[in-house]
Every structure is written in structure tokens, then in C-alpha cells.
């Protein structure tokens, strides 16, 4: 269900260089958010910047709060990082389709793979999945949120620099630790998602991937986020799908990367 909500910033913390965590009081959005969904964050009027999509890292229904973790990429996210606790901002959400929690049961071994700023939405997912969880987190160098995952399952780290865990990519960690999943859930850069899609196809297992890299209006209007699909859409007869409304989470077999 789509909702606009004025949310109060409760805290703003720098978790690692250029990576911020914002906790917000947003009772409506927190009451119905599913892991993998996102919000459009309204950048305050004076900047004239359009709202920016940020995934919901976690939603706490009881407290009526959500947690966003974001990296400063440009002007919009830089301005977000200056907002102090006590400031109110406009959010629209929860938007998009989240991860299918019912794709697992208690006998399933799920591989949860996050790369860089794709890691945050996997925290809410990891807490919600009712199965064995093997969690692979890939970073450039500095870690963030890794301790938050500790209660969810076995954690495996990779870093580009080798400062922590396996030196290399998440795929190197999966191979080194010989992880044999029944299903994969992933979020991260396109190059990582392509590798995950290929791995899943090779093993003949399903993979649900979140395509966070492509977005413009966020509400289905501009077609700025379309990705190619192998099948034609019955309604419009084209091989396209919108990331913002039909995604951002897709079965990897349903999109061409
Ligand atoms: C569904 C979805 C969920 C997202 N969730 C998160 C999240 O949880 N945390 C987070 O930090 N970011 C997330 N992003 C990415 C975030 O929306 C962008 O980094 C942000 O909009 C950039 O805005 P800006 O004004 O700061 O930078 P801009 O000035 O708009 O862009 C600065 C640079 O970042 C690049 N960029 C812009 N958008 C993206 C994007 N979507 N992916 C990669 N590079 C981009 C631009 O090409 C440019 O080089 C998500 C994106 C989508 C589509
Ligand atoms: S971002 Fe505009 S249609 Fe998806």
C-alpha cells in the first residue's frame, strides 16, 4: 500500500566514511513495509532536488520506526546527511515489491548476498526469513552493519582490499566457503547481480535480486527504470518491466541484466 508520510528524524549516525544511518518515526510506513521495499525521500524544498529512492533497512512496527542506511552519492544524499534529529522530512512508501518471504520453509538453506550499499535491505530480510541463513557481505574495505547480521545466521565477509575476510568478491567467498544454498536473495551492484544470476542458473536454484541501480520517478510514470525481460508483457506486448513498480525485487530468470 502506497502512503505519503511526514516522518520525524530520531537519529542520524555516520556508520563508516560517507555511510549514514537515519532512524525515523514513520508509523504508517513501518506498519506495512515488507523487506526489499523502498521509500522516496523528499529532499527539503530549498534544494529543488527530486525525491531519492532509499531501501528500508529495517521496519519496527512496534516502535513505529524505520531505519535507512545510505551512502553519499551526490547532492541529494549529501543534503540528507545534514538533517539533524528533530527535523521532519516527507517520505512516500513503502514502494515496490519486496522479497518473497514464503519462498522458504524451515528446511531451506538461503544464501543472502549483499554488496556495498546493497547490504542494508538484506538486514530486515535476514531477520524475517524463517530458515537456515548463510549471509555473505561484500565491501570495498570498511565494514558497516556487519554486527547487526550476527543474530541472523552464519556471516562470511569479502573485501576488495583484503582488510577483512576473503580478499575478493562475494563470489570468491561463496566459492571459498563452499556454500550450497537452495535459494538466493541478493542486492548490490549490477556486476554482482549478474554473477549471482549466473551462479543460480548454473546450480539450477532460484535467485531473487533487487535492482537498485535503475530508477527515476519511482512511481511507474516515467519509464526511466525499465529493464529487458525474456518474456513479452501480455498487456503492452513489449519485453520490458518497470523496476519501481514490478520490482525492485525480481526472480533473476525474469530479467535480462
Ligand atoms: C530501489 C532503490 C533503492 C535504493 N536504496 C538505497 C539505499 O538503501 N541506500 C543508498 O545509499 N542508496 C540507495 N539507492 C541509490 C540512491 O537512490 C542513489 O544513490 C541516490 O538517489 C543518489 O542521489 P544523489 O542526489 O545523492 O546523487 P545524484 O547526484 O543523483 O547522483 C550521484 C551519482 O550517483 C549515481 N547514482 C544515482 N542513482 C543511483 C543508483 N540508483 N544506483 C547507483 N548509482 C546511482 C549517479 O549516476 C551519479 O554518478 C537506491 C536506489 C534504488 C533505485
Ligand atoms: S522510475 Fe519512473 S517508471 Fe520507474
pLDDT by residue for the chain (257 residues), tens digit each?
558 999 999 999 999 999 999 999 999 999 999 999 999 999 886 667 789 999 999 999 999 999 999 999 999 999 999 999 999 999 999 999 999 999 999 999 999 999 999 999 999 999 999 999 999 999 999 999 999 999 999 999 999 999 999 999 999 999 999 999 999 999 999 999 999 999 999 999 999 999 987 677 888 888 889 999 998 766 667 788 999 999 999 999 999 99
In a shared domain, residues 72 and 119: no
The whole-angstrom separation of Cα 257 and Cα 242 is 13
Q: Residues 3, 56, 29, CA angle at the centre, nearest 5°?
A: 25
Ligand 2 geometric centre to CA of 2 (Å): 15
The whole-angstrom separation of Cα 46 and Cα 147 is 37
Ligand 2 geometric centre to CA of 243 (Å): 7
CB 137 within 8 A of CB 124: no
In a shared domain, residues 118 and 75: no
The whole-angstrom separation of Cα 88 and Cα 247 is 28
- CB of residue 117 inside a 6 A radius of ligand 1: yes
Residue with cell 580478499: 167
Is 16 a domain residue?
A: yes
Q: Which of 36, 63, 95 is the last residue of a domain?
A: 95
Q: Ligand 1, closest atom to CA 79?
A: 26
The whole-angstrom separation of Cα 97 and Cα 243 is 9
Write the CATH number for 81: 2.40.30.10
Is 224 a domain residue?
A: no
Contacts of 203 (CB under 8 A, 6+ apart): 181
In a shared domain, residues 36 and 122: no
The whole-angstrom separation of Cα 202 and Cα 184 is 13
Write the CATH number for 190: 3.40.50.80
Is 233 a domain residue?
A: no
Is 231 a domain residue?
A: no
Tell me the backbone φ, ψ of residue 74, rounded to 5 degrees.
Answer: -165, -155
Exposure string over 4-40, b if 16+ CB within 10 A, otherwise e: ebebebbebeebbeebbbbbbbbebbbeebbbbbbbb
Q: What's the domain range around 146? A: 101-213
CA 19 to chain centre: 15
User: Which ligand gives the minimal distance to the CA of 190?
Assistant: 1
For position 128, what pLDDT does the model report? 97
Ligand 2 geometric centre to CA of 186 (Å): 21
Q: DSSP strand E in the chain: where?
A: 3-16, 19-25, 38-41, 52-55, 58-60, 65-71, 88-95, 109-115, 132-139, 154-159, 166-167, 183-187, 207-210, 226-228, 240-242, 249-251
For position 217, what pLDDT does the model report? 82
In a shared domain, residues 46 and 31: yes
CB 88 within 8 A of CB 8: yes
Is 175 a domain residue?
A: yes
User: Which ligand gives the minimal distance to the CA of 211?
Assistant: 1
Is 40 a domain residue?
A: yes
Q: Which of 64, 95, 126 is the last residue of a domain?
A: 95
Report the nearest-CA residue for atom 30 of ligand 1: 74
Q: Where are the alpha helices (DSSP H) in 129-178?
A: 170-176
In a shared domain, residues 67 and 110: no
In a shared domain, residues 19 and 79: yes
Ligand 2 geometric centre to CA of 133 (Å): 32
CB 232 within 8 A of CB 239: yes
For position 213, what pLDDT does the model report? 72
Stated pTM of the model: 0.95
In a shared domain, residues 105 and 187: yes
In a shared domain, residues 22 and 85: yes
Is 255 a domain residue?
A: no
In a shared domain, residues 187 and 155: yes
Is 227 a domain residue?
A: no
Count of domains for the chain: 2
Amino acid at each position: 500500500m502506497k502512503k505519503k508520510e511526514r516522518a520525524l528524524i530520531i537519529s542520524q549516525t555516520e556508520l563508516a566514511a560517507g555511510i549514514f544511518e537515519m532512524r525515523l518515526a514513520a508509523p504508517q510506513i513501518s506498519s506495512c513495509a515488507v523487506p526489499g521495499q523502498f521509500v522516496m525521500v523528499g529532499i527539503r524544498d530549498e534544494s529543488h532536488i527530486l525525491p531519492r529512492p532509499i531501501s528500508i533497512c529495517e521496519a519496527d512496527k512496534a516502535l513505529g520506526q524505520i531505519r535507512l542506511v545510505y551512502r553519499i552519492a551526490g547532492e541529494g544524499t549529501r543534503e540528507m546527511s545534514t538533517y539533524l534529529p528533530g527535523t521532519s522530512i516527507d517520505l512516500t512508501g513503502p514502494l515496490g515489491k519486496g522479497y518473497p518471504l514464503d519462498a522458504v520453509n524451515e528446511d531451506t538453506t538461503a544464501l543472502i548476498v549483499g554488496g556495498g550499499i546493497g547490504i542494508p535491505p538484506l538486514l530486515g530480510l535476514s531477520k524475517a526469513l524463517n530458515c537456515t541463513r548463510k549471509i555473505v557481505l561484500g565491501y570495498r574495505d570498511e565494514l558497516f552493519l556487519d554486527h547487526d547480521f550476527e543474530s541472523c545466521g552464519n556471516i562470511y565477509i569479502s573485501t576488495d582490499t583484503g582488510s577483512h575476510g576473503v580478499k575478493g568478491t562475494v563470489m570468491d567467498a561463496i566459492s571459498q566457503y563452499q556454500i550450497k544454498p537452495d535459494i538466493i536473495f541478493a542486492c548490490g551492484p549490477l556486476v554482482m547481480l549478474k554473477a549471482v544470476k549466473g551462479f543460480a542458473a548454473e546450480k539450477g536454484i532460484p535467485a531473487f535480486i533487487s535492482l537498485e541501480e535503475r530508477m527515476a520517478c519511482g512511481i511507474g510514470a516515467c519509464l526511466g527504470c525499465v529493464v529487458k525481460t525474456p518474456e513479452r508483457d501480455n498487456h503492452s506486448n513489449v519485453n520490458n518491466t518497470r523496476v519501481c513498480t514490478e520490482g525492485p525485487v525480481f526472480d533473476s530468470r525474469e530479467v535480462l541484466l
